């Protein structure tokens, strides 16, 4: 995106193992696909908190975003297993990872706590 004017900064990247490409996501949920298929974004939806992470499905057919308040947004063939939007964590969510086996995801907050949605909980910091 070098040299391109962005509304908000890029805050995450996820590889697409199927195509060899990747997606970038900006804090306003803008998605930029490079060699990977664009499957959606929140468009003009005003988010309560900025997006700060993206994770792709194993087949590259979708991706999931997480916002710092724990809101989760699934696109393409990504499944939605829940979010923390109604009960935000005490520390901001800073990352998301997809469980390739179960299809769920984990959210991590700035304090090291991990929250599991459709994926096994294995502990946290």
User: Given a cut of 90, is residue 46 above it in pLDDT?
Assistant: no
User: Does 123 map to a domain?
Assistant: no
Tell me whether residue 79 is in a domain: yes
Q: What is the pTM of this model?
A: 0.90
Work out how many domains the chain is built from and give that number.
Answer: 1
pLDDT at position 2, please? 73
Determine, yes or no, domain membership for 97.
yes
Spatial CA neighbour of 54 closest among 37, 35, 41:
41
pLDDT in tens, 50-99: 999 999 999 999 999 999 999 999 999 999 999 997 788 889 999 999 99
User: Is 7 exposed, middle or buried, given 0-12, 13-18 or 19+ CB atoms closer than 10 A?
Assistant: exposed
Point out the least confidently predicted range of 11-15, 22-26, 104-108, 121-125: 121-125
5 has pLDDT over 80: yes
CATH code: domain of residue 58 = 2.120.10.30
């Amino acid at each position: 995106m070098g040299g391109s004017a962005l509304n908000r900064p890029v805050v995450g990247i996820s590889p697409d193992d199927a195509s060899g490409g990747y997606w970038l996501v900006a804090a306003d949920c803008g998605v930029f696909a490079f060699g990977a298929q664009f499957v959606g974004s929140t468009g003009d939806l005003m988010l309560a908190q900025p997006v700060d992470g993206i994770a792709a499905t194993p087949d590259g057919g979708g991706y999931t975003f997480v916002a710092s308040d724990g809101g989760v947004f699934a696109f393409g063939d990504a499944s939605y297993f829940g979010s923390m939007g109604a009960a935000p964590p005490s520390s901001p969510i800073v990352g998301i990872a997809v469980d390739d086996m179960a299809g769920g995801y984990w959210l991590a907050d700035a304090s090291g706590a991990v929250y599991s949605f459709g994926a096994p909980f294995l502990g946290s910091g």
